[in-house]
Structure 1
């Protein structure tokens, strides 16, 4: 994620909060996905995911560059970017939402949370509730979530020729370790 875009996201979240807001940020979050079919399994990981959390308001933004996903097979990576997510046309995926409930972030521990917001992938915005765990440990907050993305929900078309090799619903995992700014 470019620094200028990340700064803009940070300012947007900060502007929505109060003077007491504390921001926790990462530019090295990890998002991975897995597609399982009887014919082929496909996996990829992106370790350059940016995220900002405003602890005062619970607002969170997650943004990733689609071309930063790495596949074990370069041909899969090429097909992913050119044919499915169309990375030239839709270079980013983003989630912007609010964590509910906001746990007491002054107390170390692990908390079940949900983030309610908008997930934008392939130019299609969908309202989503993502469930996960938030762990407070000193000046670090770790967020973990697993969810599924139906390709049809984001108008990602799979040609009939390869339909048996790509799952209609993709499993997604996120892990972000954010530090106080």
Structure 2
């Protein structure tokens, strides 16, 4: 690694905080590398670059390297939270953009509440479908167990003495 390629890394870790763990809160002046964010949020650097391509985050550059400010970290966190909620990238982008625009957010919040309500309805329908399917599976399992028990009882009733019992007969000596 050359001194030039380490420069962004040094810039992202002020000397006063060099011994602090990654991701420690240090205010808005803290810069992060793509590797640090990937490790902190358990995503790949490629995923972070994808979110950048989609306009969800916009890091600065230090030479050829990306450097992420607190704002980018927060946008990534909101993006991943939206993904866990099952939102589309377009819906996530609306959410992330709301984070940035404090003026006149009431219409945006109303629209986003509509998106969340629709998503909630979809998830509730899926949950109902899953519950119905699980009930059907439980019924099939119970029927299979009953048939298996009947078959085992029928086999035991029609079977003669077991081969082990036949071998235990006392031998006669001549």
Report the TM-score when normalising by structure 1.
0.22
Report the TM-score when normalising by structure 2.
0.23
Higher relative contact order (CA 8 A, sep 6+): 1
Question: Between Structure 1 and Structure 2, whose CA radius of gyration is higher?
Answer: 2
By percentage of residues, which structure has more helix?
Answer: 2
